[in-house]
Amino acid sequence: MKRGVIKLCWELVFLLQTVISSVFAAKISSYHVDHGLVYEIMVHPDNGDVFLGAKNGLIHLNSELRLQGHVSMGPYSDSPQCSPDPTTICKEGRVPTDNQVCILEYDRKSGSMLVCGSVHQGKCEFRSTTDISQVIELKNDKINFVGSINKRHVFAFFGGRAVSEGFNLLYVAMGDDGRPSTFRPAAISTRKFHIKDKSFQYLTNNIMYKTYVDVHPDLVGSFKAYYIHGFEYENHTYFISVQMDDALATAPKFLTKIVRICQDDQTYASYTELPIQCMSNSVVYNIAIGAYYHSVPARDTSTGLAVTFGRTEQGSEADPSLGSVLCFYDVIDIVKKFEDVQDKCFLEGIGSEVTWLVGKSLKEVRNCETDTNYTPHSFCGLMSNIGIQESAVSQNGDQFKLSKTAVHTVSDALLTSVALTNQNRDRVAILGSNTGHVSKIWFERETKVHYLTSWNVTDKPLSTQTEVSRDNRHVFLIADQTLYRFPLYTCDGYSSCEACVMSRDPAGCGWCGDHCSLHTECLNPPVQWQNDTCPPVISQVPTVEGVFPPIGPVSGGTELLIKGKNLDIGSDLAVFVGATECSVQR
């Protein structure tokens, strides 16, 4: 909006209408868990109900956050060194242990929910989503251990492919959380559930074939990795991992990698990983914090992955003082980068074995072997190269990296969570931070975004766990013991008319007399809702004369100077003093 100065005629009496901006708090609702931290959230895809995994409990809420049910899941007598079977002898001794319910995944095929905690080696169970007290307990076998003492060490999700007995396949990625090898499943795997045996199995596991990969025995305990997100696209499974670049190096560094496995691969030979990073002003951010894949195309027909990154000078934790960034990766670009890396490997011999699969350092891994059986664009694993990563010897390492330019940057905080959705076909991102701040970003296109507005929701860090409501009108955020239900269709973040109408917020915001609102919320006639112009406002600053001179003769004819904003409103401008219209000099 322009600020204007217009000369007007003066009479003794004049009437001025001022607009006072009002700040309205966003209509945020919340649910507080009294007995401990909240670790996980799941939104039912059919009815929108919300399920929370918390300390020693599972909670069922409806979409309005009204309590529907609660079951206790701890504390239990347990030891991280012992079998979950209470009938077995435990030399270390079992003690009452809190249970972090950290995995909640809905299986569409069976209509049940997988629930896993941190006790009993992360053993899982299935529960009904209509009555969470109904449970199918699984066998005490490590194939049924998905939970972890650290939520970040594991990510699991049910894919869209169904197998026998009415259950979809479960894709799991697990980092080493220190448990004994006896109770540690494979690092990355595809599992199927057998309801008669009440147990998962690897989809394939025999002498010739296996649908999993695991850390080489020589690196167990030394190779560190954790998994923050996973998704599937066109018969491939993807995971985002923060991991060591070389566990055998004197001072291993951490970086983020994106992993891909062909879902039809019965050997997991198609396992491929490559670095993923985000750039801002030539600075590399490569420690992923939060990620979210959105499969619904936006106005530009793209779908993709949003990742927030930080930086670190040592270790695997992003340093808040070094800032944080957001990058968006079109899924087509992701697919192409993997195909490029696989082409380089099988056609040119450029690429390497995966260090942690073969138990070697970057200096020791062998290069790829070329293979005439390789078919570009339809690769699903060849035994000539079982597991591929970026070349350990190439002078042009950037060709193996999935790198994008940051679309949003913060200098003094961490963007701990991100959620994507579409509003009126436009892609928007809701970002949470370690300072309890929530921001809304609008993607005009993949590489151009607009920072819209922000809210201070809490003084506690927001968790990486976030979900969008079934109706796409709210985002659920977790901070400590509280779940927040944040409205996507709100205009309360804009405190002035200018900010409101110039925001171009995809929610559809406009000015309603004295506040910003949706058109459907402006219900105070004769107030006119406007989304393209703002009413003139005379300056109210004490040190600035809004009207000069302040007095004049009753005979009129005095030129009057008025200062304010939104005065340049075109040919429709009309000024009245009482019932008399004034002439305007332009």
pLDDT tens figures, 34-70: 989 999 999 999 999 999 999 999 999 999 999 999 9
Evaluated on CA atoms 533, 534, 538, 542, the torsion sign reads negative
Query: Given pLDDT bands bounded at 50, 70 and 90, which one contains residue 381?
Result: very high
- CA-to-CA dists, residue 518 to 20, 492, 528, 533, angstroms: 19, 9, 12, 15
- What is the layout of strands, in order, in the sheet containing 448-456? 415-423, 426-433, 437-445, 448-456
pLDDT at position 523 over 70: yes
For the stretch 534-547, pLDDT in tens is 877 676 555 445 66
Q: What is the DSSP letter of 514?
A: S
Measured CA to CA, the distance from residue 305 to residue 273 in angstroms comes to 16
Backbone phi, then psi, for 314, in 5-degree steps? -160, 155
What is 233-456's CATH superfamily? YVTN repeat-like/Quinoprotein amine dehydrogenase (2.130.10.10)
CA nearest 314: which of 269, 250, 252? 252
Domain with CATH 2.130.10.10 in the chain: 233-456
Count the neighbouring beta carbons within 10 Å of the beta carbon of residue 489.
18
- 521 versus 9: the higher-pLDDT residue is 521
pTM higher than 0.85, yes or no?
yes
Q: How far apart are CA 466 and CA 452, in angstroms?
A: 20
- The pLDDT > 90 percentage for the chain reads 67
Q: Identify the sign of the CA torsion 479, 485, 489, 490.
A: negative
The residue to which tokens 């957001």 are assigned: 326
CB–CB of 319/313 below 8 Å?
Answer: yes
pLDDT range class, residue 485, cuts 50, 70, 90: very high
In the 8-state DSSP scheme, what is residue 251?
A: S
Gap between the Cα atoms of 260 and 387, Å rounded: 10
Instruction: Give Cβ neighbours of residue 34 (< 8 Å, ≥ 6 apart).
Output: 481
Q: Per-residue confidence at 584, pLDDT binned at 50, 70, 90?
A: confident
Determine the average pLDDT of the residues in 334-357: 95
Half-sphere exposure of 256 (CA within 13 A, CB side): 27
Distance, in Å, from the CA atom of 437 to the CA atom of 480, rounded to the nearest integer, reads 14
